[in-house]
Structure 1
Amino acid sequence: MDGKGKSKMPPNDDDHNPNPKRTRSSSSSGERIESGEEAIVEGGVEKFKLVFCNQPASTIFTNNKIKAENGEALVVAIFDATTNDIIRTGLMASAAVELGLVNGDYDGTNRSVSELNRNVLSAREGKRPLMHGDGIKFLLENGYGPINCVCITDNSSWTKSKKFRIIAKIIDEKILAMFPTIGVAVSQSFRVMDHRGEVNKKHHPPSREDEVWRLEGIGKDGAYHKNLSSHGIKNVGDFLLKYHEIGSALLKKVAQQNQN
């Protein structure tokens, strides 16, 4: 940390690019800044930017809390856009932030805030607000903002890309009056499925205790599932034992028994 209350991030591959779009480095406290975020500004020189420190899971279920792929909370942080330092003290380090959703195919080619705002999604007619929860608006603390208690209420199948992206932007009017060109964070795209489909979700990786239909290619209550179950292969552990006992070719025949 330097004398200005900033946590220095080490140089990365984008340092040789005068206009990097993505940050791929780690802060001094060990957080990995993953690819997928775009810094969006309204013209002028970008002095600060919000960045997602991690990325949402590739598939999220409606009405479940938004999490990263590893189950941890998503985190955004405010950076000095020139030095890639995290701003840990001062007014910016405790700024108010608001979340929103854009279409998954929004690539940030037009990097203006006005263009971004035109792409922010609203709920479909007759539906609840797309995002729900106390954490849609929050204050940064020491430059960081964990995203807690936020869920998405509708699936993403109705969008052109079938996916969403999360945006995070500063909404503190006092700060924006002084710094109108603060970069907005845009996450990687992800799919949102109806929570009723979660009961049939495949596990990656599966455990030995998982029912055998949790494996890819075996549908719950489908022909393969029924054939395997009739031969005592009810979970992943049973499947592995039988695989080592008879080999893949014979196991495949068991699964496909009575299939045309």
Structure 2
Amino acid sequence: KLEGVRGAQISVALINSNTGDVVRSGLESSIKLDVVALEGDFNKDDEDNWTQEEFESHVVKQREGKRSLLAGDLVVKLKEGVGEMGELIFTDNSSWNRSKRFRIGLKVATGCCGNTRIREAKTDAFQVKEHRGQAYMKHHPPASDDEVWRLENVAKGGISHQNLSDAGIYKVEDFLLQLFTDPKKLREILGKSIAEKKWDSLIRHAKTCKTKWKLYLDYPDGVTKHGVVFNTDGQPIGLVKDREYFATPRLSAQE
């Protein structure tokens, strides 16, 4: 899926090459643009004087036996010289083409503007990787209800993941609650499965999670060995037993 920086929508503008201003009036300001995939090595010298034929010769089609390389909103409609790109998805990776990269290009739709030459647009070159890699992708920042392996240095199905699961730490929220109630115990749970530098990186990443709760701890024993964890509404959400955090779903009716 193609997105702008930090997931922002990608904007397109028609610029007057003489003044550098957006063309906000006239027939050209409301044209339609076709979205295409380009070879990554198109215009590698970053010059702006390519011809229409050169642009068209670098348009990339799908591999034989594959579906269309681009899917989604393949037309952009300008309004007062400005438009927004909709959802755009690559259906194949870029490892098979000659440059190992793609660009996105935009060109005037067929039948628009008559004989007026409007130079095509292009993005920088980028790699497109297989979608399946997202199944193991880390989240930045992680969400409180993310699986704990979404944290840095916790590999899905790895030893650290298994150690945390055995201790009832399944979500990032569980990880943070154990961290805040007793970080030493959390370090013991992970043990030698994670080195000290990776531990520091893991904690930094976990702390970027924006939680919707605050902790209030009550230790009736007075020695911070056993206690109750409450959320901001005063509802109990877990217990601390022998310095280990237990979320409410893990507790028995008697507890």
Query: TM class, shorter-chain normalised?
Result: 0.5 to 0.7
Task: Give the distance between the partners of 1:188 and 1:130, measured in 2 at CA.
Answer: 18
Using the TM superposition, give the Cα deviation of residue 201 of structure 1 relative to its aligned residue in structure 2, in angstroms.
Answer: 2.7
Larger Rg: 2
Q: Compared with structure 1, are the counterparts of its residues 75 and 212 closer, same or farther at alpha carbon in structure 2 (3 Å cutoff)?
A: same
TM normalised by structure 1 equals: 0.61
Say if 2:82 is the partner of 1:144: yes
- Counterpart secondary structure, 1:213: helix
Which residue of 5, 9, 14 maps to 1:78?
Answer: 14
Q: Distance in 1 between matches of 2:154 and 2:41?
A: 31
- Give the direction of change, closer, same or farther, for the CA distance of 1:236–1:149 in structure 2 (3 Å limit): closer
Cα displacement string for residues 39-75 of structure 1 (whole angstroms, at most 9, x for unaligned residues): xxxxxxxxxxxxxxxxxxxxx3xxxxx4324434322
Separation of aligned partners in 2, 1:218 and 1:162: 30
Other-structure match for 1:165:
103
Residue in 1 aligned with 2:68? 129
CA contact (8 A) 2:32 2:108 kept: yes
How far is 1:149 from its partner? 4.5
Q: Deviations over 1:72-122 (max 9, x none)?
A: 432211011232211111011012211111233445426413333222211
Cα offset, 1:233, TM superposition:
2.8
**CA–CA distance in structure 1, aligned partners of residues 38 and 147 of structure 2:** 36
Give the counterpart of 2:149 among 213, 238, 242. 213
Pick the aligned partner of 1:175 from 107, 110, 113: 113
Letter in 2 for 1:159: N
> Quick one: percent identity of the two aligned structures?
35
Please report the TM-score for the alignment, with normalisation by the length of structure 2.
0.62
Q: Alignment RMSD, CA only?
A: 2.9
Question: 1:192 is paired with a residue of what secondary structure?
Answer: coil
Q: SS of 1:238's equivalent? A: helix
How far apart in 2 are the matches of 1:118 and 1:86?
28
Aligned to 1:87: 23
How has the CA–CA distance of structure 1 residues 87 and 210 changed in structure 2, closer, same or farther, with 3 Å as cutoff? same
- Distance in 1, Cα, partners of 2:173 & 2:98: 40
Alpha-carbon contact 1:78-1:86 (below 8 Å) kept: yes
Residue 115 of structure 1: aligned partner: 54
Q: Measure, in 2, the Cα distance between the counterparts of 1:207 and 1:174.
A: 46
Equivalences for 1:44-83 in 2 at 5 Å?
Answer: 60=1, 66-83=2-19
Corresponding residue of 1:231: 167
Give the match's secondary structure for 2:128. strand
Distance, in Å, in 1 between the alignment partners of 2:100 and 2:186 is 36
In 2, Cα distance between the equivalents of 1:80 and 1:212?
Answer: 51
Distance 2:167 2:41 in 1: 46
Contact 2:167 2:189 in 1 (8 A): no
Partner of 1:192: 128
Higher relative contact order at CA 8 Å, sep ≥6: structure 1 or structure 2?
1
The more displaced of 189-198 and 124-133 is 189-198
Aligned mates of 1:92, 1:137 — CA distance in 2: 15
**8 Å contact from structure 1 (residues 242, 251) kept in 2:** no
